[in-house]
Chains A and B, each alone.
Chain A
């Protein structure tokens, strides 16, 4: 109950923002249930099928057989014992060849309406918008997850090492250098060969883990040297910052042509990791100089305990607005790339590809206006959320 009250208090005075954030959450979680052309669950010939879990019925079942022979994959023509349809029965990928580029509120062949019109090959704009919204949010969350993990690792571990535990033994320093070189070599191999053979991967992992284990054993052995590994993250950020972001992305997208959602997320996270690493570096180095870290060391806490229990949570809470702005930026970036015809493949339905298809038919304003408005709404909401969070934080810091 108390949690509920705090939650309500958090959104006080920001009703529009609260509604928008909840709509984003709903569309992320429940799009498969809200919209689609196949039943969520059905009982056919006495057998239950959970279609929200799979793309199509299980192989060899009577349902699939009848679907392909009697109904030509149209789920509506079969007779079910029991069926739950999605709330809106429409498919973003269904094409009606006669009704391409129809204006909003014109009739479609199934007897309903194209609420927001149709675009190339007679696909529905409204269904595409809802589906594309889901896809943009999914892609950007995936990207921010990958680049967040990498960026926080690169940005915080090396800075903490060089500010608090810079006396390490020579042997473990050599092992760290070896591991870093190995990781670099593995990345280069992976890109050069477009994936490396499995057994070789196992061998490299073995070498890395032996190096790590030996490093832990040798951590307090003489001779000790003063070694600050901060320069690794510094150089990394400097190199990545000095190349224009969109140029790297353009070239990467030519190397890995037409990646799927996961591939695109990995590619965008290549260029977004340094951004997060930069902020993490700044936050970590300011946190490391706080007095309470000194007092923790004086008590005798171990270094890694301090890092995990005291530094990482502080850095993460500082990073939340940055991550929210990051999600907004990634949504923009993906839409831009797809609009140039580079991001998502054209058969896929996303907000950017819908607008890209409108370039061949400029009179169809509805194909540009509505997906663009959705992107605008998404980005504005996420920016406002980041703004709200950082404002609240500023007030909290001021009061404390």
Chain B
């Protein structure tokens, strides 16, 4: 088991090195820079300043030739060129290894500080959402299996299937329009501008009404998906022979459901579990944007549109690292839940 985790971690580390290169390359391709954006806003006349005439090369070597204007047949032949250590990739690696992540171009704040400021905002939404999703989905699925004839449960089940198809951003906008709009019903406040300077962790105690709608938008679509996969998994395990054996051995139905049927039904749920780590950035991007919550997703969106490269590079790498960690954790959990995987070599 230990060996499995170590090899996966090493593989993930090399993958991250490659993803850093990919990220640096993609960021280079985006036209325009923060300075240019500022200049066009302030209508500066001197646009021909050759600041970026000789940018440092991307990697240790380069093989892409300079673009020629002529339609020469051999103009696309690769040219090998050694760049030495003075390249962007090497410098980025060096600064990341010493935990220096650079400064934001917009306001000169350290990327680390920006991250530390935004991270709790994502956490206070995601952690309750994940706990609620898991608890509710297990409860609904188990009750649905135990009482298949209950009409209320069947209603909930059918409603969840419809809920799975609702676009998340649409749900958020509808909730805002109908429940946080002075023209319709103003039961809840719409955004966070009044309390965004508060400590996010105490927000749940003092101003929970600001977080109800975003939480609802995060929980409902995920709940629909998870209930369905757990219910299908349970129905599958009820048809297996071990279920009959468990009942005939004198277990109560409740006990047998948890001990015998659940591990098999958990397998698709664990695959879902891998996706909740990157959801810290990408999952709540739209919800944070709509409710103007200053979390990681909104930070990512704003810094891409403002061409704030140090922040984008760091968050890109962070998101990829979270995804890789999510896969490792879910694979380790799979080996724990399903011992058959350990026997097959």
Which residues of chain A have a CB within 8 Å of any CB of chain B? Answer: 185, 188-189, 191-193, 196-200, 203-204, 238-239, 241-247, 250-252, 254-255, 257, 328, 332, 335-336, 339-340, 355, 358-359, 362-363, 365, 368-369, 372, 375-376, 379-380, 383
Contacts and interface: CB of A to CB of B under 8 A. Distances in A.
A348 B157 CA distance: 38
B18 A246 contact: no
A189 B170 contact: no
A255 B278 contact: no
Contacts of B170: 335, 355, 368, 372, 375-376
Contacts of B316: 243, 247, 251
Contacts of A243: 19, 22, 316, 319-320, 323
B304 A198 contact: no
Interface of B: 12, 15, 18-19, 22, 26-27, 29-31, 63-64, 67, 71-76, 78, 162, 164-170, 173-174, 176-178, 181, 183-184, 278, 281-282, 285-286, 289, 300-301, 304-305, 312, 315-316, 319-320, 323-324, 327
Contact of B26 (A204, A239, A251, A372): A251
A339 B169 contact: yes
A244 B76 contact: no
Interface centre among A196, A199, A252 (most CB of B within 10 A): A199
Given A335-B170, A363-B183, 19 more contacts: A197-B75, A199-B72, A200-B76, A203-B76, A238-B15, A241-B327, A244-B281, A244-B320, A247-B300, A247-B316, A251-B30, A336-B286, A339-B286, A365-B177, A365-B184, A372-B170, A375-B167, A375-B170, A376-B165
B230 to A, nearest CB: 17
Contact of A200 (B22, B75, B177, B327): B75
Contact of A254 (B30, B63, B173, B174): B30
Contacts of B320: 242-244
A392 B315 CA distance: 44
Contacts of B166: 376, 379
A320 B122 CA distance: 37
Nearest to B180: A362
Contacts of A238: 15
Contacts of B304: 250-251, 254
30 contacts: A185-B63, A191-B29, A192-B29, A193-B67, A197-B71, A199-B72, A200-B72, A203-B73, A203-B74, A239-B19, A239-B22, A241-B327, A242-B12, A243-B319, A243-B320, A245-B282, A251-B304, A251-B316, A255-B29, A257-B31, A336-B169, A362-B176, A362-B177, A365-B177, A368-B170, A375-B167, A376-B167, A376-B170, A379-B167, A383-B164
What are the 8 tightest A-B residue pairs by CB atom distance, in nearest-first order?
Answer: A380-B165, A372-B170, A244-B282, A200-B76, A379-B165, A246-B282, A244-B278, A244-B319
Contacts of A192: 29, 64
Given A246-B282, A362-B177, A368-B177, A380 B162 contact: yes
DSSP class of A's interface residues: helix, strand, loop or mixed? helix
B167 A372 contact: yes
B339 to A, nearest CB: 22
Contacts of A255: 26, 29-31
A250 B299 CA distance: 13
B239 to A, nearest CB: 11
Contact of A335 (B18, B31, B167): B167
Contacts of B168: 336
Nearest to B166: A376
Nearest to B16: A242
Nearest to B176: A362
A199 B71 CA distance: 6
Nearest to A381: B165
A104 B19 CA distance: 50
Given A189-B76, A241-B323, A368-B173, A363 B30 contact: no
Contact of A242 (B176, B181, B286, B324): B324
Contacts of B167: 332, 335-336, 372, 375-376, 379
Given A191-B29, A244-B319, A340-B286, A197 B165 contact: no
B78 A242 contact: no
A328 B12 CA distance: 31
Contacts of A200: 71-76
A185 B78 contact: yes
A372 B282 contact: no
A244 B276 CA distance: 11
A151 to B, nearest CB: 19
Nearest to A253: B304
A383 B165 contact: yes
B45 to A, nearest CB: 24
A379 B169 CA distance: 14
B29 A363 contact: no
Nearest to B70: A197
Nearest to A333: B167
A332 B167 CA distance: 6
Nearest to A379: B165
Nearest to A188: B64
Contacts of B71: 197-200
A149 B174 CA distance: 37
Contacts of B29: 191-192, 255
B73 A239 contact: no
Nearest to A378: B165
A245 B174 CA distance: 25
Contacts of B173: 355, 358-359, 368, 372
Contacts of A336: 167-169, 286
